[in-house]
Structure 1
Amino acid sequence: MEVIIIENKFILKPKVYFGNNALEMLKELTGTRAFVVVDAIMEKLGYLQKTIDLLKSAGISAEVYSDVRPDPDVKIVANGLKHYKESKADILIALGGGSAIDTAKGILYFAWKFESIEASEFKKPLFVAIPSTSGTGSEVTDFSVVTTEDGKVCIVDEFIAPDIAILDSTCIQHVPKHVVADTGIDVLVHAMEAYVSTKATDFTDALAEKAIKLIFENLETIYRDINNTKARDHVLNASCMAGMAFTNTGLGINHSLAHAFGGTFHISHGRSNALMLHEVLGFNADLSGDTNSQAAEKYARLATILNLPARTRREGIVSLMDAICQLKKNLGIEENIKALGISEDDFENALDKMAEAAMADRCTPTNPKQPSKENMIQIFRKSFGQA
């Protein structure tokens, strides 16, 4: 019998609820007990209590795990796993930024794996993700990043993708300006890497193009005025669209480099991505060569979509890179790594290990141009500000 393997697919798993009062959807859930993973900010701002009250109106009790930290490590996940198993919850809710959602995904993943080891049947809880930042797109992805002693580790499995995503932009209206900038550029990188990924399709291209356009049109607006509801909705939607795209395509070396750099020097994920973007674009587009690649063609197409000068492919690529540099400048993002105050000696001492980590990263295989370790080192050095 002939076995036919079809590699092309597009997964749309979560139901997405969005718009004003989207949080009210929690009253429609069915279950008995929820385990809520929440970060300190959402607890402080009252969104945790609102979530508990909405669940209560549906007859659902809640147990809270609030020991969430930026860049969650294995200890945080392990502690959360212990409390989750004790709760016997049939609903898992992640409320907060990417770290809260990543923590919840880690808890779910390891609960499932431990049950498999023990040959026990694992009854998966209904998984609901409610993002409080417009950046990670984690509410619709099968990615989770957990920090270990050796750096950041990506968990990628369809099992950990949420069942329901709730996009209520009131949840992001108290985000500080630097977080708006970092997370917004992270959305841009997600979409751009999905767009040129080796696994890109017509479906993911449509989502990536729209997400990129929404970011260019609205991110600077909410950076200057977070109370602009329409722009805030657009950026949150763009984050979700970019997440839908990259969960189907994978990412690229922009994220591989950012994971290695951010984990080494404790720089936020979004800002780490921002600092690599210019040089990664130039590498993928072969800007020092003939720009005769599919990635180069697609970057030039983006320039056209954004109404930037693009009479030739090279002009389109340069226009796009210039527009991104201007956007980062307007968002108060440093021009290069050196501007963060990291010494060149410290950077050089970490360079080899960071390059090795980037080469081994789960995001590297779907980059449109496969790099060598020396390529990674060169991109790192240029991103630092070296000639």
Structure 2
Amino acid sequence: PLALKAIAMVNEYLPESYKGDMAAREQMHYGQCLAGMAFSNALLGIVHSMAHKTGAAFSTGHITHGLANAMYLPYVIQYNAKDAAALKRYAEIARSISLKGDTDEELMKALCAKIDALNVEFSIPKTLKEFGIKEDEFNEKIAGIAELAVGDACTGSNPRAIDPKQMEELFRCIYDGKAVEF
């Protein structure tokens, strides 16, 4: 499928593209176009909903959309993987980029670890706290942000339903860097 081809290209070319390799950047251009075609048919889910609502929400600095997506993705995968169909799809993605694991759960964890490693390589913070969001401001605003994120157009296509309380809990996991266990 188109999405798996895009994922394979990103996996192969993103690190070298980031380092300035022009041939890798060309391949990333093609990969991002394939990804765009894939998600225009499948929509985006809560990673984007969350990034849409946090970009300019905090006084300590704008969280760019791409950085927010990268930061939030491992946590959202953990959340969505509680849905059996989503877990199988994450395992399929992990297999498509040659990650190892004996079970779908192990493959999903390997996928999260791969994303975490790329985020470290690209200097993307692991948590909102590490990004510099002040805890008092986070606590003051997060319930409203969570409600807005649930109402975002991208939320309806997420593989696992989420309500404002769960969204707030997910944001709290991202703030502190805690595993998503609900």
- TM-score of the superposition, structure 2-length normalised? 0.92
The aligned counterpart of 1:273 is 69
Residues 1:285 and 2:100 aligned together: no
Please, which of 151, 162, 165 is the counterpart of residue 371 of structure 1? 162
Please, which of 23, 26, 37 is the counterpart of residue 233 of structure 1? 26
The aligned counterpart of 1:209 is 4
DSSP-derived class of the 1:267 partner: coil
Distance 2:132 2:22 in 1: 35
Distance 1:303 1:278 in 2: 13
Residues 1:341 and 2:137 aligned together: no
Distance 2:177 2:31 in 1: 33
Distance 1:329 1:256 in 2: 23
Is residue 9–residue 31 contact of structure 2 (8 Å, CA) maintained in 1? Answer: yes
* Structure 2: gaps spanning 5 or more residues: none
Residues 1:296 and 2:81 aligned together: no
The aligned counterpart of 1:243 is 36
Please, which of 315, 320, 329 is the counterpart of residue 111 of structure 2? 320
Corresponding letter in the other structure for 2:41: N
Corresponding letter in the other structure for 1:345: D
The aligned counterpart of 2:57 is 264
Select the structure that is richer in strand. 1
Per-residue deviation, 1:310: 2.2
Corresponding letter in the other structure for 1:241: L
Q: How does 1:1-387 map to 2 (within 5 A)?
A: 206-224=1-19, 226=20, 228-265=21-58, 266-286=62-82, 293-385=84-176, 387=178
Distance 1:327 1:279 in 2: 15
Structure (1 or 2) with the larger CA radius of gyration: 1
Per-residue deviation, 1:386: 5.5
Distance 1:285 1:271 in 2: 22
Higher relative contact order (CA 8 A, sep 6+): 2
DSSP-derived class of the 1:264 partner: coil
Q: Give CA-to-partner distance per residue, 1:95-135, whole Å, 9 cap, x none.
A: xxxxxxxxxxxxxxxxxxxxxxxxxxxxxxxxxxxxxxxxx
Is residue 126–residue 177 contact of structure 2 (8 Å, CA) maintained in 1? Answer: no
DSSP-derived class of the 1:257 partner: helix
Distance 1:303 1:360 in 2: 30
| Runs of 4 or more consecutive aligned structure 1 residues displaced over 4 Å after TM superposition | none
DSSP-derived class of the 2:130 partner: helix
CA RMSD of superposed structures (Å): 1.2
Q: Give CA-to-partner distance per residue, 1:110-169, whole Å, 9 cap, x none.
A: xxxxxxxxxxxxxxxxxxxxxxxxxxxxxxxxxxxxxxxxxxxxxxxxxxxxxxxxxxxx
Per-residue deviation, 1:358: 0.4
Corresponding letter in the other structure for 2:10: I
Per-residue deviation, 1:341: 1.4
Distance 2:102 2:132 in 1: 39
Give the length in aligned residue pairs.
175
DSSP-derived class of the 2:161 partner: coil
The aligned counterpart of 1:110 is none
Distance 1:317 1:253 in 2: 17
DSSP-derived class of the 1:307 partner: coil
Is residue 127–residue 177 contact of structure 2 (8 Å, CA) maintained in 1? Answer: no
Distance 2:177 2:38 in 1: 33
Distance 2:177 2:106 in 1: 24
Per-residue deviation, 1:361: 0.3
Distance 2:43 2:92 in 1: 21
Per-residue deviation, 1:378: 0.9
Corresponding letter in the other structure for 1:271: L
Select the structure that is richer in helix. 2
